[in-house]
Amino acid sequence: MKPLRKKLFVSFLLIMGLTLAGLVLVLAQLLPVYLEHEDERAAGEVVSLLGEKGISLDAADRAELEDRLAGIDPGTGKKKPPIGFLMTAAVVFAMAFIASGVLYYKMADRYVRPIDLVTGTVLDLAKGNYRARAEWGEAGIQVGLISAVNALARNLQDMESIREAESERLETLIGHMGSGLLMIGRDSEIAMANSFFLNQFDVREPALVGKSYKAAPLPASLIRLIDAVQIEERPRTEQMDISRSGGTGTMAVYAAPVINKNGGWLGIVVVMHDITELIRLERVRKDFVANVSHELRTPVTSIKGFSETLLDGAMYDTATAEQFLGIIHRESGRLETLIEDLLDLSRIEKEGFTLELKSVRVGDVLRQAIETVSGRLEEQNMKLSFHIADSLTVKADENRLVQVFVNLLANAAAYSKPGTGIRIEAIPDGNAASISIEDHGIGIPEEDLPRLFERFYRVDRARSRDSGGTGLGLAIVKHLVDLHGGSVQVQSTVGSGSVFIVRIPLA
Ligand SMILES: Nc1ncnc2c1ncn2[C@@H]1O[C@H](COP(=O)(O)OP(=O)(O)OP(=O)(O)O)[C@@H](O)[C@H]1O
Ligand SMILES: [Mg+2]
């Protein structure tokens, strides 16, 4: 039985019991008086009947008659209890008690059970079970209450599913966003850190969440920033370098206090963006501008200097004039090459630059390249040896591929002693042609290899500049090979030579 019904039923039985007990008490008081009166009346009746029949009783007989009618034992002088009457009364009372109990139980079941049902449902709802419903098959007085509770439960369930969907969406958003997010509660404890943030510091969630930010395994600079925001109660932005497993990264960190409408302090939110790539690009841009200016300044200074000397009178000395003009001519040639290379590089790097791809025989490409640099090769008296697989064809832009090998062959000639050999090899390797240019020149130190394909990067600046180089050749090579979907690698030993291996997809 449900609590309310049980309570009401017990209370009812108690009240009923008490009422009946009261009734019994009253009856117990009134019964002897009534019985005595009845005995006297009956004795009177008997005496008058006997009188009518001609029998008269004296006082003693009359007293005995009364005693007998009253049920007083002549031997003991005590009155016999009215057992029959008492039994009947007890049965009547018991039946009345039971009947009213049953009747009440039925009533309670009808009117109170729905309330118990609704109470149970509301308690379930309070525990968070929004699927709970009050089931009631009968029509009746409490149907309105039951349907109201069920409507409330349905609304709660709908609200809960909306809340769940929203929190799931928010969790996914925070978890997958490309920025770090850290939330600190009003008690300075870390309430939340998203996966980006955790990954940056190589920590797991339990190491942060629930801990005071001051004791968390976070960089001192970040803790200082949060401290400052807590003291000043205003947002702050800082750029900080952090060391992580993949090397040092630069972060733009924004920390702001979270304050509610009434000015109450709720905590601090920290948002962190990885700007490592941005910083690198900025450095590349600055380096590029510095490099270009530097490269341009050298020939321009020299042209200016020699032309000034000529104007100052040297032009009247034919031999000197010829020598100086020769230098001016050479330097302006260098300027032209530099500008052409820069323009070429910017053209290649420009978005939308496309190659004119077609089937090209590797042999033809290499022959054209050698022809282009033949002057320089002869100057250096280089000895060429070939090993080119027959009919090796690649998918390439012929002119651009020639440009790649012209650069590599020119380098091989420029950075080798005269009279040494260059070996050219082209063989199929999987789904690509592997073309290598090997020289026996000065070689490249290992520490320079990773940066070799950067714009303006030169191993030995003085020597390279003497050779007329700008440091853009290999940058152009790398770009062009990448655009072909290929790759370029270099192996080198200082003093014994280098080999550049270009892979271009087969046609
Ligand atoms: N075959 C090689 N042997 C030794 N060093 C080389 C070789 N090829 C390139 N290098 C080194 O790499 C640097 C970069 O080469 P890259 O071709 O990009 O520029 P460069 O030859 O100096 O100028 P250019 O733009 O005129 O080609 C060179 O300065 C040189 O130090
Ligand atoms: Mg070069």
Spell out the SS3 assignment of 396-420: ECHHHHHHHHHHHHHHHHHCCCCCC
Question: Nearest residue CA, atom 9 of ligand 1?
Answer: 411
Whether 497 lines ligand 1, by a CB cut-off of 6 Å, is no
How many Å lie between the centroid of ligand 1 and the Cα of residue 371?
Answer: 20
User: What does the pLDDT average to over 150-158?
Assistant: 92
Q: Which range is most confident: 51-55, 112-116, 360-364?
A: 360-364
9 vs 441, which has greater pLDDT?
A: 441
pTM exceeds 0.85, yes or no = no
Tell me how crowded residue 303 is: count the other CB atoms within 10 A of its CB: 19
Statement: residue 116 has pLDDT above 90 = no
Give the Cα separation of 237 and 271 in Å (integer).
Answer: 9
What's the mean pLDDT in 439-447? 94
- Is 380 touching ligand 1 by the criterion CB < 6 Å? no
Ligand 1 site, residue 439, Cβ cutoff 6 A: yes
On the question of pLDDT at 1 being above 60, the answer is no
Nearest-ligand number for the alpha carbon of 341: 1
**Phi and psi, residue 132, nearest 5°:** -65, 135
For 49, list phi and psi in degrees, rounded to 5.
Answer: -65, -45
Whether the Cβ atoms of residue 336 and residue 329 lie closer than 8 Å to each other: no
Q: What spacing in Å lies between the alpha carbon of 407 and ligand 1's midpoint?
A: 9
The 10s digit of each residue's pLDDT in 172-185 is 999 889 999 999 99
- Amino acid, single-letter form, for residue 432: A
Nearest bound ligand to CA 469? Answer: 1
- pLDDT of 147 higher than 80: yes
For residue 462, what pLDDT is reported? Answer: 62
Nearest bound ligand to the CA of residue 479: 1
The larger pLDDT score, comparing residue 139 to residue 61, is at: 61
Q: Determine which residue's CA is closest to atom 13 belonging to ligand 1.
A: 458
On the question of pLDDT at 139 being above 70, the answer is no
pLDDT at 40: 81
Q: In the prediction, which pLDDT does 467 show? A: 60
Cβ atoms of 184 and 213 within 8 Å: the answer is yes
C-alpha separations of 61 from 50, 67, 469 in Å: 12, 10, 163
pLDDT tens string 383-420: 999 899 888 999 999 999 999 999 999 999 999 999 99
**What DSSP assignment string belongs to 236-272?**
EEEEEEEEETTEEEEEEEEEEEEE-TTS-EEEEEEEE
Ligand sitting nearest the alpha carbon of 470: 1
Q: How many residues make up the chain in this entry?
A: 507
Q: Determine the distance separating the centroid of ligand 1 and the alpha carbon of 453, expressed in angstroms.
A: 9
Mutational test site, ligand 1, from 404, 415, 451, max ligand atoms within 8 Å of CB: 415
Return the C-alpha torsion angle 438, 440, 441, 444, nearest 10.
Answer: 60
Q: Give the fold, CATH level 3, of 358-505.
A: Heat Shock Protein 90 (3.30.565)
Distance separating alpha carbons of residues 434 and 449, to the nearest angstrom: 20
| Average pLDDT over every residue of 276-287 | 90
Residue 439 pLDDT exceeds 60: yes
Cα–Cα separations (whole angstroms), residue 293 to 143, 239, 341, 456: 90, 29, 14, 12
**The pLDDT of residue 484 is above 60:** yes
**Regarding the domain delimited by 279-349, which CATH topology (the fold level of the hierarchy) does it fall under?**
Helix Hairpins (1.10.287)
Q: What is the mean pLDDT of residues 247-259?
A: 93
Residue with tokens 């962190």: 272
* Distance between CA atoms of residues 49 and 42, nearest Å: 10
- Mean pLDDT across the chain: 89
Does residue 465 surpass a pLDDT of 80? Answer: no
Distance 411 CA to ligand 1 centre (A): 5
Nearest CA to ligand 1 atom 26: 469
Mean pLDDT within 147-151: 88
Residue 507 has pLDDT above 80, yes or no: yes
For 496-507, letters b (16+ CB in 10 Å) and e give: ebbbbbbbbebe
Atom in ligand 1 nearest the alpha carbon of residue 475: 18
Per-residue pLDDT band at 350 (split at 50, 70, 90): confident
Number of C-beta neighbours around residue 190 at 10 A? 24
Ligand 1 pocket mutation, candidates 382, 448, 457, 474, criterion most atoms within 8 A of CB: 474
101 Cα to the center of ligand 2, angstroms:
111
Q: Is 470 a pocket residue for ligand 1 (Cβ < 6 Å)?
A: yes
- Return the pLDDT at 434: 97
Residue nearest to atom 31 of ligand 1 (CA): 459
- The answer to whether the CB of 464 is under 6 A from ligand 1 is yes
**pLDDT reported for residue 56:** 81
Q: Give the model's pLDDT for residue 10.
A: 86
Q: Which atom of ligand 1 is nearest to the CA of 459?
A: 31
Domain boundaries, the chain: 3-111, 126-172, 178-274, 279-349, 358-505
SS3 46: helix
Would you place residue 11 in the very low, low, confident or very high pLDDT band (cuts 50, 70, 90)? confident
Q: Is the CB of 471 under 6 A from ligand 1?
A: yes
* CA gap 479, 397 in Å, rounded: 13
Q: Considering every ligand atom shown, identify the ligand nearest to the alpha carbon of residue 475 and give its number.
A: 1
Residue 437 CB–ligand 1 contact under 6 Å: no
- CATH fold label, 178-274: Beta-Lactamase (3.30.450)
Residue 466 pLDDT exceeds 70: no
Q: What average pLDDT score do residues 353-365 get? A: 94
Averaged pLDDT, 43-63: 84
Residue 70: what pLDDT?
74
Provide mean pLDDT across the span 101-117. 82
Which atom of ligand 1 is found nearest the CA of 442?
Answer: 4
CA of 352 to the centre of ligand 2 (A): 26
For a mutational test of ligand 1's pocket, the pick from 372, 411, 437, i.e. the residue with the most ligand atoms closer than 8 A to its C-beta, is 411
**List of residues 6+ apart from 320 with CB closer than 8 A:** 314
* Mean pLDDT (whole number) for 191-207: 91
Residue closest via CA to ligand 1's atom 19 equals: 471
